[in-house]
């Protein structure tokens, strides 16, 4: 640093120290004929560098959020599983887990259904009122892979479905993409809380002849992956000990024909 600047820096540091000391007196000080009001310098400097408590708490939660996941619930559940034709492969495997772990399962297949159908019909509310589930699985989205402007077109219906579910713990199983979608997975992911949506897109599937539905064996493996994910990734884990190989039958099965 050039010597001519040393004097300037010394003067600035002296002024800084003076105002810091000055701010100690709340009501100012008098020096001879001068009445000097304090500028609350120290408080201003503190405010400059202080992080708001609420913001600090928020940042801390973002980095150390351990409260998003409930403890494992080991009680027997009355489970409702709703969705489209993908349930043909998924539900029998879930039923096997239910048999093993003391849960009951109501399986509701609405062929060719979508979030639009379910959101507009109010059918989920009817099912909840009839079967009184305390846990819900949803598998929807496969019939909406190619819907244009889907976030605008389907968001109200996804919100309606979630509003009908209310406070009942749930897992939404995303569609088993066989092609790139127009945004259905992003939409569901955005609308569901952490630990409530299983992203199936990207999983490996063996497909049936239509090229879309997983084979029965592949669908069973799919359900196994969802349940394994629930061990660590689900917001509301329940007891689902592995039952070994095989499938079973739901306690009750409801079938709706495709919407007209």
Taking only the tens of pLDDT, the chain with its 260 residues reads: 555 555 655 555 665 555 444 444 444 444 444 444 444 444 444 433 343 433 333 333 333 456 899 999 999 999 999 999 999 999 999 999 999 999 999 999 999 999 999 999 999 999 999 999 999 999 999 999 999 999 999 999 999 999 999 999 999 999 999 999 999 999 999 999 999 999 999 999 999 999 999 999 999 999 999 999 999 999 999 999 999 999 999 999 999 999 98
The per-residue pLDDT for range 173-195, each reduced to its tens digit, is 999 999 999 999 999 999 999 99
Q: 144 by DSSP, 3-state: which?
A: helix
**Structure tokens of 135?**
């846990």
Output DSSP code: residue 2. Answer: -
What's the rounded Cα separation, in Å, for the pair 171 and 236?
A: 8
Give the span between the Cα atoms of 31 and 21, in whole angstroms.
14
pLDDT at 67: 87
Q: What are phi and psi of 137, to 5 degrees?
A: -110, 140
pLDDT, tens only, 24-42: 444 444 444 444 444 444 4
Q: What is the pLDDT of residue 50?
A: 42
Structural domains of the chain in order of their starting residue, each with its CATH number? 4-56 (no CATH), 78-256 (3.40.50.1110)
pLDDT at 9: 59
Q: In this predicted structure, what is the pLDDT of residue 52? A: 40
pLDDT, residue 260, reads: 82
């Amino acid at each position: 640093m050039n010597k001519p600047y040393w004097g300037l820096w010394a003067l600035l540091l002296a002024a800084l120290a003076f105002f810091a000391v000055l701010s100690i007196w709340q009501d100012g000080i008098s020096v001879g004929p001068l009445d000097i009001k304090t500028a609350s310098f120290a408080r201003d400097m503190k405010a400059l560098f202080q992080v708001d408590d609420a913001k600090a708490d928020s940042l801390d939660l973002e980095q150390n959020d351990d409260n998003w996941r409930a403890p494992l619930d080991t009680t027997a559940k009355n489970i409702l599983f709703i969705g489209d034709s993908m349930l043909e492969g998924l539900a029998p495997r879930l039923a096997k887990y239910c048999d093993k772990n003391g849960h009951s399962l109501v399986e509701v297949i609405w062929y060719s259904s979508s979030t639009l159908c379910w959101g507009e019909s109010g059918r989920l509310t009817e099912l909840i009122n009839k079967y009184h589930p305390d846990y819900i699985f949803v598998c929807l989205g496969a019939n909406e892979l190619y819907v244009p402007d889907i976030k605008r077109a389907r968001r109200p219906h996804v919100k309606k479905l979630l509003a009908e579910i209310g406070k009942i713990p749930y897992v939404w199983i995303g569609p088993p993409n066989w092609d790139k979608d127009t945004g259905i997975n992003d939409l569901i992911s955005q609308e569901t809380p952490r630990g409530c949506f299983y992203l199936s897109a990207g999983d490996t599937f063996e497909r049936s002849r239509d090229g879309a539905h997983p084979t029965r064996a592949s669908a069973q493996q799919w359900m196994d992956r969802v349940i394994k994910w629930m061990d660590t990734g689900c917001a509301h884990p329940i007891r689902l000990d592995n039952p070994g190989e095989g499938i079973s039958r739901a306690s009750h099965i409801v079938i709706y024909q495709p919407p007209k």
